[in-house]
Amino acid sequence: MKIRQKIAIIRELIISQTDSIIGYPKISSISTDENLTENSDSIISTQKAIKSYIDSNSGGGNDTIDSSSIVYITLNESPYTIQNNDKLLLIDCSTNTIIINFPDATLFTGRKIITKKIDESNNSINYTPYISQTIEGENNSYDSIMPGEFMTFISNGISWLRIG
């Protein structure tokens, strides 16, 4: 018997046996939808679908920073809009103020962004929230001028908060 046939038999057994479990809804299908759009009590999502959903809605599912998630920003890149893969922004304000535009917080609940001012100037980093959102309660911008300062921001699904 081929693997696909075995999986089909197991799937049918799972679905048919749920009638006998009192107090639980009958399982109607097994889904691989990585967006979990069905929003149903009668559909079981695969482990891969659940992991993909969590990863795409929490900034990757982990706090690992690799070279592809580190961005070096100078005046040439300003204004800079934070990208999906960005985790650490190294910001050089030595020649002027740098503007950092935050993405839509509603799309990145739980996502962390770390920034570091890597120059010794008195020029500032201007953090600008997404349209009609806030950063630390500020709807226009949030500034930092301290040389060497690290800042960590997290999305609460509505706005961006500074947590470090």
Long-range contacts of 59-67 (CB under 8 A, 24+ apart): 59/87, 59/108, 59/110, 59/111, 59/112, 59/155, 60/85, 60/87, 60/111, 63/87, 63/112, 65/114
- pLDDT band for position 60 (cuts 50, 70, 90): very low
22 with 52, same domain: the answer is: yes
**Helix/strand/coil for 142:** strand
- pLDDT band for position 4 (cuts 50, 70, 90): low
Q: Tokens for 50?
A: 């659940």
89 with 120, same domain: the answer is: yes
Do 151 and 144 meet the contact criterion of CB atoms below 8 Å apart? yes
Domain that holds residue 19: 3-57
Under DSSP, the state recorded for 102 is -
- What kind and span of H or E run contains 9? helix 3-17
94 with 129, same domain: the answer is: yes
pLDDT digits (tens, 9 = 90+) for 122-143: 888 999 999 989 888 877 777 7
**What's the number of domains the chain is made of?**
2
94 with 53, same domain: the answer is: no
- Asked if the structure places residue 151 within a domain, the reply is yes
CB atoms within 10 A of CB 122: 9
Q: How large a percentage of the chain has pLDDT more than 70? A: 66
Q: Whole-prediction pTM value?
A: 0.60
- Asked if the structure places residue 62 within a domain, the reply is no
